[in-house]
Structure formats: C-alpha cells, structure tokens
Amino acid sequence: MPDKNSPEHDSNREASNKETSNQEISNQEASNQESSNIESSNQESSNQQQTNQQPGGSNNPYQSPDSSLDVEPEGASLNMLAAPRAVSFGRCVGWIGDGFGYFKQSPGQWILILFLGLAIMIGLSMLPLIGQLIMGLTSYVWFAGLMLGCKALYQGREFSVNYLFAGFKEPLVKLILLSIITGVLNALIMYSVMGDFYLELLKSSADAQQQQSLIMEDPGRFWQLFFFGMLAMIPVMMASIFAPALIAIHDISILKAMQFSFLGCVKNILPLFVFAVIMLLLYIVSVIPIFLGLLVFMPTAFAAIFSAYKDIFTEPHAANDRLEL
C-alpha cells in the first residue's frame, strides 16, 4: 500500500480528480442539451398555437368560423369624391341594366322585402294619423336600408331581407330629420301652388271618400294644380334622391348630403331626365299584368338609383364598375 505522501499516491489522486471533473463536465453538457431540446419543443408548441389562433383558424373545434361580411373586398370600397362628377349620357340606360343585375343576384330576397314592406305599409295605414306620421318620418329610413343592401350586393356580400331595417341603426336620426325637412319643404311648395285646396285635401286624408269627392268637384283644376306643384317640387327631389345613400354609406351631414345630391343631379340633368322617363314607361308596363311586373320593377328601380349614386359620387373601380366617363 503506497504511502499517502508518496509520489505514486499523488498521481492516483490527480487521476481520480481529473476523472471526476470530466464526469461533471459530461453531465453538465447532457443537462444543457436536454434544456435546449425542451426549449426548442416549447418554441415549436408556441408557434403552432399562434398559427392556430390566426384569423381563419382556431384550436377550438366548436368555434364558429370568422365572418367576413363586414370586411369590404379589395377594390370594392365606396370612396366618396370631393365633388359630384358628370357621367356619360349612356349611363341612363346602364343604370337600369345594373339595377336589373342586382335584382337577378337575389330575386327571392328582393321579393320578400317587397311583400314585407307592403305589409308594414298596410299595417301603418290602419292607424289613423299616427300611421301616416310614422310613414312620413321613416320614408328615407327604409330607402337608406335598401341602399345599404345594394352596397352589399355590389361588394359581393350576402343580401337578405334584414337590409330593409338597416337604416334604423346609426344614421337613424339624420334620416328622420331628412324626412322631416323634405316633408316640410314639399308641403310649403304644394300649399303655395294649391292654396287652401291643399289644406282641405290634407284634412280629408283620413277619409278616402271625402278626399275623392273634393277632387271630383273640379278634377281639371285639381290635376292642373297638382302638375304645377310636382314641377315646383323637382328641386327638392333633386336634393333628396341621393341623400339617403350619402348619409347611410358615408355618414355625412344632412346639409352636405342634400347639397351633393342636388349638384349631382344638376351635373347629370340630361341622363337623369331620360332615366326618369324610361323608368316611368317601365312602370306603366309593369302594372299591366295585374301589377305582377312591380315585383321586378321596384327592386330594379331601387338598385338603379344606387348604381347612379355610385357612378356620380364615388371613385370608379375597374373590377366592379362599367362606368363610361
């Protein structure tokens, strides 16, 4: 047995210490390698979780798919111009073609809207005075809802009967005020043209027979006054025809909407006049087969107005528009 102080013993001790040190180094490296593998595994798991949580994917198999109805498709946004523009004369026919195209995209929903709207009007008409007041206050609210529905069709989104009530959301107050303003202006114009005869007609509005008897007392005078009254209301019509769409889609003020609508009509007075004449003729034709033609005419008319609004007041998009400047 070697002495503890001998050189041989010192050599054995150094060898043992070196072996122990090497073993510790090896254990440390193995531990580091294991930690690295765990971190790598955790990172991959985290990346996989982030991928699953991205739009269009979910780690919850019971979660409903993300809806894209509120996302405007690229190239189909309706950016309002700084001022209305003049379009080519041929668009007076193009608007009607576009309107019929909107109807063909969802004819069933359009017809449901017509029947539901008719049922609402009949129900309100059965309420004396209050029903007429509600119809007068909400006339442009219903109209704006249909413009929003046409916007959905233009952007390739789903169109449903719910759009009939879309105007009762955020722009509701503006649309009601627009109805009040135009109603007051039209009443003042008709009174200035027809005088007390107009007031008598208003008083008898709740009684159809009494109103009819007033007209039949002097039908020639009535129709003459009514014709001039309608002519006098044309400026108000020009200021209001596109105002609901401008308010509902762009959320601008009532005054600006009426100003833009009037200027847009002035800049396109000829195509809009021909458009109105054609639509009047189509209306006459549509009522001949026991009014069944109105099931196509009414949706086409609403959608054609939207197409005209889009051409005159928003930037064109080559992928979506057939605009002829």
Predicted confidence (pLDDT) at residue 14 exceeds the cutoff of 70: no
How buried is residue 40: exposed, middle or buried, by Cβ count under 10 Å (0-12/13-18/19+)?
A: exposed
Helix ranges (DSSP H) in 195-242: 196-203, 208-217, 219-232, 234-240
Rounded to whole angstroms, the Cα distance separating 256 from 262 reads: 10
Which pLDDT score, from 0 to 100, does residue 33 have? 54
pLDDT band at 62 (very low <50, low <70, confident <90, very high): very low
Tell me: the pLDDT tens digits for 182-202?
999 999 999 999 888 888 877
- Within 13 Å, how many C-alpha atoms sit on residue 118's CB side? 9
Q: Show me where the domains of the chain are located.
A: 9-43, 91-313
Tell me: the pLDDT tens digits for 103-162?
999 999 999 999 999 999 999 988 877 888 899 999 999 999 999 999 999 999 999 999
Prediction pTM value:
0.73
